[in-house]
Structure 1
Amino acid sequence: MTKTVDVFWSFRSPYSYLVTPALLKLRDDFDVSVRFRPVLPIAVRAKGELFGDDPRRVRYILLDMVRRAEFLGMPFGRPSPDPVVQDLKTFEVAEEQPYIHRLTGLGVEAERRGKGLEFAYHVAALIWGGTPGWNEGDRLADAVAKAGLDLAEMDAAIAANDPAPEIDANQAALDASGHWGVPTMVFEGEPFFGQDRIETLRWRLGKEGLAKQ
């Protein structure tokens, strides 16, 4: 039986974007199933928990995400608009969230169709790759099409089959894994948190004899 790597991932997380190409390569290199399990970002599901009153955290993330993208040779720019409507000076999160719930639901639907990672790769590259107005015109539809999917069909599907229970189940599974952040990859109950732990996960899979010949 093929073993599984669960990937807990958020469209608001720059590090989720940065790990996605490596996840595609991991799937190519190892005899494992990689299951894409999108969750809502902490800013939406636990307002105030991520940054609190300490500005150092957000300052560090804003510095490090750009540096890490440059290190990896990946295009990068702060999303415009941000997938989460939030004031980064006060950290106040708006009640109305027109983007993140749709994106997360579409991620669930993409995984239902067997293309979760492909969807994440192309849509995250659109959002985080420096394209302003990622939500305008046909840009999102075009990114979804690159993953071999149809945006209108997917929107209809999540309207007919609410993804919220699956999103909640993903969050519960992330909590049960022993971590709380994204991206977290879980193999055989062992969590690997952060984009920079992908090599450690590859090492673990290699020790398990799962490298493809």
Structure 2
Amino acid sequence: MPATVDYYFATVSPWAYLGHARFVAMTRAAGATVRVKPVDYGEIFPVSGGLPLAKRAPQRQAYRLVELKRFSDFLGIPLHPQPAFFPVNGNPAAHLILATDAALGSAAALDLAGRVGTAIWAQQRNVADAEVLAALVAEAGLPASLLDAAGLEAAATRYTTLTAEARDLGVFGAPTYVIDGELFWGQDRLDFVQRRLQAG
């Protein structure tokens, strides 16, 4: 029986961006169901020992930039380690992804999530800008009505609920893939995710 994967991620995470296309491809190949779950890591870090980027030690911040370039080069995925619009508020994009999931399903939501990551890390666009989000919706061929749906209470409530769910499961970093209660943290764990999917 094909697996179900809970995909917890931050819309603004470079690591989620670097792993996104591979994750989508492997889950499709395995016939797995993906439950798209953007969450607010600003709420998770304080209870899980994590720190926002600006509060991390200088050596950790410096090494992060090295690793981003290293993975970008290795994977052949374009990425600006210090894009023009970062840090950026990813909550509006998360609400839009959730509204898309509710209206059109996970495939459309996954596609939009990938476009958000690309917008930040490859195209250096400001995803906190309503006009940028509207452009991403249009570029994806999605209905503009999703922009209104993203502003409704249902999307915000779902975001809050998923954030609490992730915290209670022990999720502490982005991206995290969960299969039958087993957590896989980080895009560099996708080989293990694939093995798990193949094992059934």
TM range (shorter): 0.7 to 0.9
Point out where structure 2 has 5 or more consecutive residues left out of the alignment: none
Alignment-derived partner of residue 32 in structure 2: 32
2:169 corresponds to 1:165: no
Distance 2:22 2:125 in 1: 26
Aligned counterpart for 1:54 among listed residues 42, 57, 60: 57
CA contact (8 A) 1:17 1:125 kept: yes
Report how far residue 63 of structure 1 moved: 1.7
Report how far residue 161 of structure 1 moved: 3.5
What CA RMSD, in Å, does the superposition of the two structures yield over aligned residues?
Answer: 2.6
Distance 2:74 2:37 in 1: 26
Alignment-derived partner of residue 90 in structure 2: 100
Distance 2:198 2:59 in 1: 37
Distance 1:127 1:5 in 2: 25
Alignment-derived partner of residue 116 in structure 1: 109
Point out where structure 1 has 5 or more consecutive residues left out of the alignment: 85-98, 209-213
Aligned counterpart for 1:80 among listed residues 70, 79, 84: 84
Alignment-derived partner of residue 16 in structure 1: 16
Assess, with a 3 A threshold, how the Cα gap between structure 1 residues 145 and 44 changes in structure 2: closer, same or farther.
farther
CA contact (8 A) 1:177 1:190 kept: no
Distance 2:44 2:185 in 1: 20
Assess, with a 3 A threshold, how the Cα gap between structure 1 residues 137 and 36 changes in structure 2: closer, same or farther.
closer
SS at match of 1:163: helix
Alignment-derived partner of residue 71 in structure 1: 74
Q: Deviations over 1:58-105 (max 9, x none)?
A: 222122112111110011113321252xxxxxxxxxxxxxx4221111
Assess, with a 3 A threshold, how the Cα gap between structure 1 residues 133 and 13 changes in structure 2: closer, same or farther.
closer
CA contact (8 A) 2:119 2:126 kept: yes
CA contact (8 A) 1:122 1:144 kept: no
2:175 corresponds to 1:176: no
Higher helix proportion:
2
CA contact (8 A) 2:99 2:150 kept: yes
